[in-house]
């Protein structure tokens, strides 16, 4: 399958994941958005040397992966371009911070090593939380939730229409790419000499298509504000869901649970 087709499929697959039917999918978008934001803020706020405390935060993504049935490899696959960047972030820490913090079986663990590990883990956690939000909340519901917290309409509409426009652009690119390769057999990618006309045409075609889509929206009553689903009001279970997780995150942040558990066994 071509790269562009894969990108289109990736995008559509996220829509399909978000329309799932697991218990997590049934909680309100606002509850899940709140949990995700608090999770990310909590994970980021951990000290660079508090690797053991941070590890407990893995419980949230693990639980959500488990309950929703979203395969972990789907996450790894979709994040394949971003994950290496996240892992790269703390790579130089061991060079700068060489204070020995711990000795494990004769192996000296420096502060740089720990902070590198912590940074990587933080990045992984934040990415997984964002992915899980996108995989359990449809973009329309997410936008509706953003409107509920009074995010300006223009920003939310921009977010939504950009998301929709990306698939229009990719669709057109896919059609043009197919047409190109049918007349350029055996050629890898698009030849440099055709880049100008290819991208120019792509822009014009996607403009045309976007124009038709826009007309179709206007004819069906669109007047600048997207008609988000009139989501039901948050129910008790949504508050419980959000409160439960937030409580857990706060607990993880202020109580080092692994150390506490360790003390039960080691005196």
Site of interaction with other proteins (CB under 8 A) = 12, 15-16, 19, 138, 140, 164, 168, 171, 209, 212-213, 215-223, 227-230
Report in angstroms how near the CB of residue 229 gets to other proteins at its nearest. Answer: 7
Report in angstroms how near the CB of residue 61 gets to other proteins at its nearest. Answer: 25
Q: CA-to-CA distance for 175 and 63, rounded, in angstroms?
A: 40
CA distances from 262 to 60, 103, 240 (A): 21, 17, 30
**DSSP SS3 for 107:** strand
CA distances from 41 to 34, 44, 130, 149 (A): 11, 5, 12, 18
What is the crossing angle of helices 139-148 and 153-182, to 10°?
Answer: 160
Which residue lies nearer to other proteins by CB, 144 or 252? 144
CB–CB of 142/33 below 8 Å? yes
Which residue lies nearer to other proteins by CB, 196 or 224? 224
**DSSP SS3 for 145:** helix
Which residue lies nearer to other proteins by CB, 19 or 45? 19
Report in angstroms how near the CB of residue 9 gets to other proteins at its nearest. Answer: 9
Strand positions, DSSP E, the chain: 100-104, 107-110
Report in angstroms how near the CB of residue 142 gets to other proteins at its nearest. Answer: 13
Which residue lies nearer to other proteins by CB, 68 or 174? 174
Q: CA-to-CA distance for 14 and 67, rounded, in angstroms?
A: 17
Got the DSSP string for 161-181? HHHHHHHHHHHHHHHHHHHHH
Which residue lies nearer to other proteins by CB, 84 or 221? 221
- Tokens coding 29: 């978008």
Report in angstroms how near the CB of residue 217 gets to other proteins at its nearest. Answer: 7
Report in angstroms how near the CB of residue 164 gets to other proteins at its nearest. Answer: 6
Report in angstroms how near the CB of residue 137 gets to other proteins at its nearest. Answer: 13
Which residue lies nearer to other proteins by CB, 219 or 264? 219
Q: CA-to-CA distance for 124 and 55, rounded, in angstroms?
A: 11
Which residue lies nearer to other proteins by CB, 2 or 16? 16
């Amino acid at each position: 399958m071509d790269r562009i087709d894969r990108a289109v499929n990736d995008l559509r697959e996220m829509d399909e994941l978000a329309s799932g039917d697991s218990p997590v999918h049934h909680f309100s978008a606002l509850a899940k958005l709140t949990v995700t934001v608090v999770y990310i803020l909590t994970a980021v706020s951990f000290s660079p040397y508090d690797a053991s405390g941070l590890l407990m935060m893995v419980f949230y993504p693990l639980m959500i992966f488990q309950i929703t049935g979203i395969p972990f490899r789907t996450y790894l696959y979709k994040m394949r371009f971003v994950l290496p960047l996240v892992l790269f972030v703390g790579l130089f820490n061991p060079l700068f911070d060489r204070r020995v913090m711990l000795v494990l079986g004769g192996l000296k663990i420096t502060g740089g090593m720990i902070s590198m590990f912590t940074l990587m883990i933080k990045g992984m956690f934040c990415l997984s939380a964002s992915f899980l939000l996108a995989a359990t909340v449809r973009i329309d519901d997410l936008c509706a939730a953003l409107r509920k917290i009074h995010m300006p309409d223009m920003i939310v509409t921009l977010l939504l229409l950009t998301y929709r426009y990306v698939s229009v652009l990719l669709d057109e690119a896919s059609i043009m790419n197919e047409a190109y390769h049918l007349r350029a057999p055996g050629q890898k990618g698009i030849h440099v000499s055709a880049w100008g006309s290819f991208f120019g045409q792509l822009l014009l075609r996607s403009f045309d298509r976007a124009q038709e889509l826009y007309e179709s929206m206007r004819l069906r009553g669109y007047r600048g504000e997207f008609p988000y689903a009139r989501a039901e009001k948050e129910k008790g279970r949504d508050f419980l869901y959000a409160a439960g997780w937030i409580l857990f995150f706060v607990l993880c942040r202020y109580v080092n649970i692994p150390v506490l558990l360790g003390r039960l066994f080691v005196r």
